[in-house]
Structure 1
Amino acid sequence: MANQDGTVAGPTTNNRIPAGIWALGLVSMLMDISSEMIHALLPVYMVSVLGTSTFAVGIIEGIAEATASITKVFSGALSDWLGRRKFLAALGYGLAAITKPTFPLASSLDWLIAARFIDRVGKGIRGAPRDALVADIAPPELRGASFGLRQSLDTIGAFLGPLMAIGLMWVTADHFQTVFWIAVLPAFLSVGVLLFLVKEPERPRELRRVRMPLHRDELRRLGKSYWWVVAVAAVFTLARFSEAFLILKAQSIGMPIALVPLALVLMSLAYSLSAYPAGILSDKVDRFTILVIGLSLLVCADLVLAFTQSVVGAGLGVVLWGLHMGFTQGLLAKLIADTSPAELRGTAFGMFNLVTGVALLIASVIAGALWDFTGPRGTFLAGAGFAALTIMGLAAVRARLPAQGSI
């Protein structure tokens, strides 16, 4: 079926997405394979082998993600000042790759915290410039699909990584360090793909040069619609917490250590299968509706995970969690790209990630404390309650979200 502009709708959407988006998706996929092979085992390794408390896991995970978010502010602003994105993206991916060998070499919790911290700094350096690069490469009418595709490929890596970790833990008889060493390889391959297969588009000559991206006058240029999207995203992030608690839930119902990463496999599979279709949908229908669907899925996921004591029930909850991510993360990225000026997109993504990173830190610390004092049920019930409150809050600010086709 043809659209009014003569292009073909439906299944041919993939053919219209630029090759650079596919390449960036492959870069994300390879790095996620590496990262998730390690992170799928890290919470269990810290709790079971090193004797770390779940409260400490929550703090470590929250600080790690908040570190990445803070770094994104400066890397995003720097990419606007330079007028180039790829260099900073490559620097971030390269730093993450270089730090991967630290995980198998770490002999204490301090080393693991340092490795996790530096790895997240690398993520922070690459995040905002990469997202701005996606927005620069993608046609405006396909931004939702483009962000959804990159996110989908990213999360394919996120479920392949834990799946490989499971197989390798079985083959090596639960030898964590061997798995961590193998995870180093796809990280370096990811950097190679970025350097040789991703071409940054030329900066338009008429685009305004930004001298001080983080100056208050430039931040005002981002506009009210942008800041409302950031506010909505922050409240939404408070309603969820680190996926490390999905792994701990799987362990709490008696799953063998080698199979615990299946929680992330299922979550990421659901995420990857839903992110691209949800992205395509976000280019065509009301954005508020998609956000509400995503939050409703989170409420359902939390309720299932709060009360289930079976592997099947935990699997269902994890799948629902992945679906909520697929319906929301690409859409939020598209809204940031749509509401921010082209010359300030790096700064826009950086500020967005700073605010949501702080929210994730708060959510993860609260979740860790609740887990220690009330157990898994109290943690997930609190998440469900806050997600439900967020849905009600969204209804109040619906008119302030940018309407479909208004940008």
Structure 2
Amino acid sequence: MLRGVTRNVFVLGLVSFLNDISSEMLYPLVPIFLTAMLGAPAVAIGLIEGVAEATASLLRVVSGWYADRLRRRRPLIVGGYAVSAFSKPAIGLAASWPAVLALRFADRFGKAMRNPARDALIADSTPTAYRGRAFGFHRSLDSAGAIVGPLAALALLPAFQEDLRPIFLFAFIPAVASVALLFLVRERQRAVPTRAPFPTLTLKGFGRPFKAVLLVVALFSLGNSSDAFLILRAQDLFARDLESGAIAAGPLAIFGSNVLGLSTAMAVLAYVLYNIVYTLGATPAGMLSDRLGRRGIVIVGFAIYAVVYAGFALVTGSAAIWVLFIVYGFYIAMTEGVLRAYITDLSPTQARATGLGVYYTAVGLASFAASVLGGALWTYVSPVATFAFGGVMAVVAAVVLLVAVPRVNGSRPR
């Protein structure tokens, strides 16, 4: 086993792998399901993703606070994964986009329950010197599931033609398996305070570097609208080029001759390429942040994001979509796990889950605004405006991180 990757980190990685197979079988299909089958406008997609993330994220502070006061974190993790597992097949039965909104909220509610406790358990189970590696390893397995999931969905698409609903039912199988695997996690009982005040959004007890990084994350997240818009943009450009004859179906003809099926398959494949890069890059990025410090890695990730969003704003043909999704994978590899390690570095030892809960809440609330605004810009201005705004906010966040936050290597500022 990779040095610094403990049994718990390995098992939790496998859990995330299976859960992400389930989630990512559906994620690239949901925006297409909403628009093509339920007739939802882009602004509704922004509202669904924004409300689900923001409402559920409010629980993460409470969840993180509660996880810090449990002798064992596993029950909270099991409960969260179970709630998410049962919400997924129900989406396939939805007859309207408001029903999808409610079920997406249930899925995110489960994620809010489990994530602070799970990430705190990863930090508890890992020596400080290997924390970036552990989080990067966990994200690599998570994103490996994000490769297998869309490929599984693609394998099922020809069997059901244009009907996406049965795929939501198949996604239940790996979700249940992920819950069962959690019983292999081992943890010792922790000493916890007998009394503690109910959590608030106060950051008392957290230092200036934590608050500065939190501000940077909020600024970035304000422009980081749902990836559903990237998938919609890709599917739209693929459909346009298929109809004009600019591109041919080639081997993807197995998905049928209709434009909807072919463009959906192409968009999902582009999303798979993004996840392949993410999977291969997450662990090396985490290891690099252990050696060079988190700040520089995150700044580079934000810069890559800005370039990709500029590309999505300016591109007029589908050929560039493949390259943009590949480069986008480098952004997520350099920020997702590294930012979590950064937050745990800057949190008091006895309040790691609380710090992660505050972090998730800041991301969720800002992402709510980003997705609603992104959908409104898409619907009432143009898709170009959605991506231009995201790119500008990424540049602003990178500059603030460079100027306002001291460089940190591992847990030691320098």
Instruction: Give TM-score scaled by structure 1 length.
Output: 0.91
Match in the other structure for 2:234: 250
Q: Percent identity?
A: 36
Q: Is the 8 A contact 1:81 1:213 kept in 2?
A: no
Measure the CA separation in 2 of the matches of 1:391 and 1:356: 16
1:198 maps to 2:198: no
Q: 1:337 to 1:374 in 2, by over 3 A?
A: same
Match in the other structure for 2:321: 314
Measure the CA separation in 2 of the matches of 1:91 and 1:157: 20
What CA deviation, in whole Å up to 9, does each residue of 1:336-392 have, x standing for no partner? 111112221111111110011111111111111111133222221222222222222
Q: 1:94 to 1:312 in 2, by over 3 A?
A: same
What CA deviation, in whole Å up to 9, does each residue of 1:255-310 have, x standing for no partner? 42233222321222221111111000110003222122101111111122122233
Q: Which amino acid aligns with 2:293?
A: D
Measure the CA separation in 1 of the matches of 2:322 and 2:364: 27
**Which has the larger displacement, 46-55 or 260-269?**
260-269
1:349 maps to 2:356: yes
1:110 maps to 2:98: yes
3-state SS in 1 of match to 2:405 = helix
Q: Displacement of 1:222 after TM fit? A: 2.5
Alpha-carbon RMSD? 1.9
Q: Which amino acid aligns with 2:149?
A: G
1:140 maps to 2:125: no
Measure the CA separation in 1 of the matches of 2:201 and 2:233: 43
Q: Which amino acid aligns with 1:211?
A: A
What CA deviation, in whole Å up to 9, does each residue of 1:3-32 have, x standing for no partner? xxxxxxxxx8x1431021011011111111
Q: Any gaps of 5 or more consecutive residues in structure 2?
A: 240-262
Measure the CA separation in 1 of the matches of 2:288 and 2:233: 32
**Which has the larger displacement, 39-48 or 261-270?**
261-270
The aligned length equals 390
Q: 1:220 to 1:275 in 2, by over 3 A?
A: same
Match in the other structure for 2:199: 214
**Which has the larger displacement, 141-150 or 310-319?**
310-319
Q: Any gaps of 5 or more consecutive residues in structure 1?
A: 1-11
Q: Displacement of 1:238 after TM fit? A: 2.0
Measure the CA separation in 2 of the matches of 1:170 and 1:403: 49
Q: Which amino acid aligns with 1:226?
A: F
Match of 2:303 among 296, 300, 304: 296
Q: 1:106 to 1:209 in 2, by over 3 A?
A: same
Measure the CA separation in 2 of the matches of 1:278 and 1:36: 22
Measure the CA separation in 2 of the matches of 1:301 and 1:48: 26
Measure the CA separation in 1 of the matches of 2:293 and 2:345: 14
Match in the other structure for 1:374: 381
**Which has the larger displacement, 109-118 or 325-334?**
109-118
Measure the CA separation in 2 of the matches of 1:402 and 1:210: 33
Q: Which amino acid aligns with 1:94?
A: A
Measure the CA separation in 2 of the matches of 1:16 and 1:405: 16
What CA deviation, in whole Å up to 9, does each residue of 1:292-339 have, x standing for no partner? 210111111112212223333111112222211110111110111111
Measure the CA separation in 1 of the matches of 2:411 and 2:98: 50
Match in the other structure for 1:6: none
Q: Displacement of 1:170 after TM fit? A: 2.0
Q: 1:343 to 1:213 in 2, by over 3 A?
A: farther
Q: Is the 8 A contact 2:303 2:395 kept in 1?
A: yes
Measure the CA separation in 2 of the matches of 1:351 and 1:83: 21
Q: Is the 8 A contact 1:246 1:264 kept in 2?
A: no
Q: Is the 8 A contact 2:25 2:149 kept in 1?
A: yes
Q: Displacement of 1:210 after TM fit? A: 5.7
**Which has the larger displacement, 385-394 or 24-33?**
385-394
Q: Displacement of 1:93 after TM fit? A: 0.3
1:154-165 equivalences under 5 Å are: 154-165=142-153
Match in the other structure for 2:215: 231
What CA deviation, in whole Å up to 9, does each residue of 1:39-97 have, x standing for no partner? 21111111111111101101111111112311211111111122321110100001111
Q: 1:119 to 1:404 in 2, by over 3 A?
A: closer
Measure the CA separation in 2 of the matches of 1:344 and 1:18: 22
1:55-134 equivalences under 5 Å are: 55-134=43-122
3-state SS in 1 of match to 2:204 = helix
1:173 maps to 2:161: yes
Instruction: Give TM-score scaled by structure 2 length.
Output: 0.89
Match in the other structure for 1:406: 412
**Which has the larger displacement, 81-90 or 372-381?**
372-381
Measure the CA separation in 2 of the matches of 1:361 and 1:349: 18
Q: Which amino acid aligns with 1:295?
A: F
Match in the other structure for 2:250: none
Q: Which amino acid aligns with 1:26?
A: L
3-state SS in 2 of match to 1:261 = helix
